[in-house]
Structure 1
Amino acid sequence: MKVLLTVFFDCRGVVHHEFLPQGTGTVNKEYYLQVMRNLREAIRRLLHHDNAPAHTSLLVCDFLAKNNTLMMPLLLYSQIWPPVSLFLFPKLKRPIKGRRYATIDKIKTASKEELNKIKKMIF
């Protein structure tokens, strides 16, 4: 079983996290727009994310523009802004790698626990 976790954080810690609903398959523009709606208050001024098609879709860009949210492009290979995949996700995946979970809910619970440990350690 696989579960996709979307995480947003700033210099003070994790701002928001959501799991992709089962059966959705992949992050698409409609899902990402809903994530943006759920996150709107926390990202009111600035959002830094990569250029995945769902992130740069007209639907999402219109939403961010209407809510006065500046979208910062990802600076690939920047030492100032390291990609989150090089920083957060290995720390999240390492402790739960190789474990077996009976249900999706148990995977989500274990992921949240590890995310909380990372938050305490880093922020």
Structure 2
Amino acid sequence: MTELMRCEHVATSLDITVSGDTFSTLTRRKMLSIQREQRDNLKFLVKLGKTFTEGYAMLKEVCGNECLSRTQVFEWFKLFKEGCETTEDDSRPARHSTSKMDENIETIVRTG
């Protein structure tokens, strides 16, 4: 694990606060914003009549390494072709976060 990855993991696990928001919350918001923007773009490309291959190539060209996976692009492309209008994720039941449990935080701090 690289130093940066370990720092991000520890920061996320410890829930470090940055300007009133947690590190993990800031990272999650940015990621969701990027994904939402890409879905909006895919919806637009479907309405223009682009094929999946054309749409994926365009998205990959614009987004580079931050591009949604080919599978995700295919799934969203398929939904938009079937008439789906929303770019929101389906709601999922919340899972308990084990990364914020005191015993796990202590383990990370000791081994870090």
TM-score (normalizing by structure 2): 0.30
* Bigger helix share: 2
* Bigger strand share: 1
TM-score (normalizing by structure 1): 0.28
Q: Specify which structure has the bigger relative contact order, considering alpha-carbon pairs within 8 angstroms and separated by 6 or more residues.
A: 2
